[in-house]
Amino acid sequence: MFKKRTLPQLLADFKNDEQFMKNVSYWHVIEEKEAITAPFPKNVDEKIVQALKKRGISSLYTHQAEAFSLATAKRSFVAVTPTASGKTLCYNLPVLQQILEDEHSRALYIFPTKALAQDQNSELNEIIAELGLPVKCYTYDGDTAPNIRQTVRKAGHVVITNPDMLHTAILPHHTKWVGFFENLKFIVIDELHTYRGVFGSHVANVIRRLKRIANYYGSKPVFICTSATIANPVQLAKELTGEDVFLIDKNGAPQGKKHFIFYNPPVVNEPLQIRKSAAKEAIRLADLFLKEKVQTIVFAKSRV
């Protein structure tokens, strides 16, 4: 039976392939990095600790521990760490802790898309199921049935929404959300880097309106922002929320070895220096990876 090559074996074969290497203009390797962890803070409820341990989380990454410390000290912050580094726990942990300390506490999660909101709702509800406590988490968007919207307003400890829904369906009807706004402790803004340009300026105005309404009902929520790596996260978070924010950018999560390979399609017409189609070369290389059962993702300009 033909044995599939692993990714390291494929890369080694590439390096020994003169035809392939002739088209490589740059090959850079970033070595793997071990996780930097911290024990659960002493003030984390034991029920939460046990629920996380059931999910295989026996300690926190350092950036998660720092986020919990700032959030419980009522300080707004922006966490900027790579994809899959556990940013979700940076806000779920302090939010759940606050709800367990005071069952009347409320939190508002803002995501740029409904799909992201649904994903986060599923993940948070899985942790809540492990807790075995009556913590209610709901999405509130255009797909939310009218007959359960009142339940969300009255009973939702965590309400997950998007900027459009916040602007058109929640803030104009704040009198129906009195109990929610009176007890609003945290506002989570995920994917901060998406709120730039004209869209960002619109959302910044919606956030100002949200803060005014929260203050009117006597609450001063803490802002927790998370973002992909960008050059100016503190400036962006400050302009979007109007709050002074702390920066968390020291990633404690482990990182695997990465190879960055700049591949130039081969020349097919030497006199005119015409190269082979980049799309066709991408298909050829992706086909090679897929035949070897290596997980592969290809980016294109159009889904078509």
Structure tokens at 65: 């521990």
245 exposed, middle or buried (CB, 10 Å; 0-12, 13-18, 19+)?
A: buried
Q: CA 21 to CA 177: how far, in whole Å?
A: 62
The answer to whether the CB of 80 falls within 8 A of the CB of 235 is: no
Q: Which of 195, 254, 265 is nearest to 228 (CA)?
A: 195
Q: What is the pLDDT of residue 2?
A: 54
What's the burial of 166, exposed, middle or buried (CB within 10 Å: 0-12/13-18/19+)? buried
**What is residue 82's predicted lDDT score, i.e. its pLDDT?**
87
* Residue of 82, 41, 72 whose CA lies nearest to 59: 41
Enter the tokens of residue 290: 């897929």
Q: What is the pLDDT of residue 1?
A: 43
CA distance 178 to 168: 17
Query: Which residues does 123 contact at the CB level (< 8 Å), separation at least 6?
Result: 88, 92
Assigned token pair, 248: 């968390």
Structure token digits, residue 271: 């006199």
Dig out the tokens for 224 from the structure.
Answer: 């927790």
Strand duo 106-110 + 158-161: pairing: parallel
Contact 140, 170 (CB under 8 A): yes
CA dihedral angle for residue 41, residue 42, residue 43, residue 46, rounded to 10 degrees = 100
Mean pLDDT per 10-residue interval, the chain, length 304 residues: 80 94 95 95 95 94 97 97 90 97 97 90 92 92 89 94 96 96 97 94 97 98 93 95 96 93 92 90 93 91 74
